[in-house]
Chains A and B, each alone.
Chain A
Amino acid sequence: MGVAESHKSLAVKSINQVVFNHLGGENTVLSRRNFLKTASAAAFVTSAARPLLTWAADPVISIPGKDGLIVRSYRFLDLEMPVDFMTDWITPVNHFYVRNHMFPPAKFDVSTWKLTITGKVEKPLTLTLPDLEKIPVHSVVNTMECAGNGRTFQSPKVPGIQWGKGAVGNARFSGPSLKAVLEKAGLKDTAKHVQFRGLDQVPGKVPPFIRSIPIEKALDADTLIATHMNGAPIPAHHGYPARALTPGWVGAASCKWLTEITVLDKPAEGNFMSPGYRFPNTPGKPGEPIKPEDTHALTALTVKSLIAAPSDGAKLKPGAHVIQGVAWGGEADITKVEISTDGGVSWNPAQLGKDQAKYAWRLWSYPWKPAKSADSVIVSRATDSQGRTQPDAAIWNPSGYLYNACDQVKVYVQA
């Protein structure tokens, strides 16, 4: 069995890598030659180890470098981390969520990649990867979250990728500071916003993914042109060879596959600045439209916590358990996480993990010893250094951004 299993997984891996190649941004086809090669290698083990009907009913989606993630969309790729993976301070790349608005870049030779810096600058620049690598490296551990994380919990439902809890992760990003590059180009007095554009392939007449950040954030020492993630060159899914890293802000502020930086005298225009990625200035009535003039562009993330364990619906024995999870506050620090094991009636503080960094989430844990059989609703509630506390209900908005209601799971304690 052990041998058959290992052969099977090799064969499955092999054929799927041939069929489902994402990174080129191509619609790959199974060539006849590779098909026969992989198929014959796979033949014996498959017929013995895996009934065809079972396999047909249980789709195998192989995404090299991304293990066990929830597939919100395969083409183009949007992947979510299951919340029970959130037990590490640094999220391994193979578990880090992926958000694409369109197709990734076509395969390109990195030696031809360049980054231009133009607009309201004294001296427009064109940098190659070796040029970037000559600039001192700065590292930032950053919790990156998609603005639409938790969208599926909005009521009434809103359109968009129906993210559950896991369009968020915490990684160490490294590269030159954006400030160093902007200073090389020399900012003019009129410089007010910095616009990013990536190499994403735009289908149909979809507007290109172009967004800008205000000059103050662009000049923050922690805003990077990140070439590395968790100590390795940034992987293709995350923007190889370089991405913007706007720490503490919604993921959309950290443009992947960066190729153009344009300094502007006003915010960028286009779909992904308006109506995209905007939030009501004051909460409206759920389900009601909001006038564009009553909205602002999303910037920093808000205060939020998630319960990684136990899982929602878990059956537990009476006795000692550890409730654990993560909490973050964008540009703010987490000051407190409180746990309720009675559906929000009574609260007790969780212990915060020792690992911390300015824009990084905190792990937290709370020992719990249910004495008898009962159904329990466990709730987590974070508070940050800006005095914000997670609400019972998030602010409804037409695009479902910044969902941050207190997290909860229901568990069944049975002797």
Chain B
Amino acid sequence: MRTFIGEIRPSKLALVAALLWAASAVAQSPNAPLPPGEAKEKAEAACLTCHEARIIVQQRLSKAAWTKELDKMIKWGAEVDPKDRDALIDYFSANFGPDQPVYAAPKSQALSGAKSKSKH
């Protein structure tokens, strides 16, 4: 026999759990974050309209190469205030230079499990 309390408590718990779970789902963006830094917000505004940050964070480039990339992207529509250009180049070079360890990319979820390796 279910009591009144016995019926209501699980649904309250369920609601709390649902909100927590959903909140983490929303925070759990499949797009990579950019690292902290003074130019972070400028970089987000300039770059992330057209692509996610993972395309940036996987690069390992010299300052000269970052300069070339940023200028190419400005030509391709990235909106960068000329007075922010040097700060962005410094931010990218400091975080994603040739001496940084290789970026470890995540994997997509294997939804179909063992069946995903079907034989032909």
Q: Which residues in A have their C-beta under 8 angstroms from that of B10?
A: 44
B39 contacts the other chain (CB 8 A):
no
Residues of B within 8 A of A16 (CB): 25, 109
* Residues of chain B with a CB closer than 8 A to A13's CB: 111
Does A20 contact B30, Cβ atoms closer than 8 Å?
yes
Are B69's CB and A59's CB within 8 A? no
Across the interface, which residues of B come within 8 angstroms of A70, CB to CB? 105-107
> Is A60 a contact partner of B109 (Cβ separation < 8 A)?
yes
Chain B contacts of A9 at CB under 8 A?
111
Which residues of chain B come closer than 8 Å to A94, judged between CB atoms?
112, 116
Residues of A within 8 A of B13 (CB): 43, 47
- Return chain B residues, CB-CB under 8 Å to A42: 18, 21
Residues of B within 8 A of A72 (CB): 54, 58, 105
B45 within 8 A of A: no
Which chain A residues border B68 with CB–CB below 8 Å? Answer: 159
Does B110 have its Cβ within 8 Å of any Cβ on chain A?
A: yes
How many Cβ-Cβ contacts under 8 Å join chain A to chain B?
A: 161
Given contacts A71-B105, A72-B58, contact A43 B49 (CB under 8 A): no
Inter-chain CA distance A59–B31, complex, in Å, is 10
A46 within 8 A of B: yes
Chain A nearest CB: distance from B8 CB in Å?
Answer: 15
Say how far A284's CB is from chain B's closest CB, in angstroms. Answer: 16
B60: which of A30, A68, A87, A157 is its contact (CB, 8 Å)? A157
**A373: Cβ under 8 A from any B Cβ:** no
Contact digits for A78-111, partner B, Cβ 8 Å, 1 yes 0 no: 0110100101111010110000000000000000
B1-23 residues at the A interface, CB under 8 angstroms: 10, 13-15, 17-22
The verdict on A52 contacting chain B, using a C-beta distance below 8 Å, is yes
- Size category, A interface: 35 or more
Q: Given the known A-B contacts A43-B21, A46-B17, A59-B30, are A79 and B108 also in contact in the complex, defined by CB atoms under 8 Å?
A: yes
Interface stretch (choices A203-211, A310-318, A343-351):
A203-211
Closest to A94 in B: B116
A44-B17, A92-B120 known; A55-B51 Cβ under 8 A: no
How many chain B residues touch A (Cβ–Cβ < 8 Å)? Answer: 52
Chain B hits for A15, CB < 8 A? 22, 25
CB pair B98–A73 under 8 Å, yes or no, is no
Given contacts A88-B119, A157-B98, A204-B77, contact A52 B52 (CB under 8 A): no
Q: Which residues does chain A contribute within 8 Å of B60, judged by CB atoms?
A: 157, 162
- Rounded to whole Å, the gap between the CB of A200 and the closest CB of chain B is 12
Query: Is A184 an interface residue, CB under 8 A from the partner?
Result: no
**Chain A residues, CB < 8 A from B69:** 159
How many Å lie between the Cα of A289 and that of B112 in the bound state? 45
- A204 and B50 within 8 A (CB): yes
What's the minimum C-beta distance from B53 to chain A, rounded to whole angstroms? 9
Q: Is B75 a contact partner of A205 (Cβ separation < 8 A)?
A: yes
A75 adjacent to B31 (CB under 8 Å):
yes
A199 within 8 A of B: no
Report the minimum CB–CB distance from A33 to chain B (whole Å). 13
In the complex, A67 has a CB within 8 A of chain B: yes
Are A69 and B18 CB-contacts (below 8 A) given A52-B24, A205-B77? no
Contact call B17/A43, Cβ cutoff below 8 A: yes
Whether a CB of chain A sits under 8 angstroms from the CB of B34 is: no
17 A–B contacts from the bound complex (CB under 8 Å): A15-B25, A16-B25, A16-B109, A39-B19, A46-B17, A47-B13, A47-B17, A60-B109, A61-B106, A61-B108, A72-B105, A73-B54, A74-B52, A88-B120, A156-B98, A162-B58, A162-B59
User: B residues near A, CB below 8 A?
Assistant: 10, 13-15, 17-22, 24-28, 30-32, 49-52, 54-55, 58-62, 65, 68-69, 75-78, 98, 102-103, 105-112, 116-120
Chain A interface residues (CB < 8 Å from chain B): 9, 12-13, 15-16, 19-20, 30, 35-36, 38-40, 42-44, 46-47, 52, 55-56, 59-64, 66-76, 79-80, 82, 85, 87-90, 92, 94-95, 152, 156-159, 161-162, 203-207
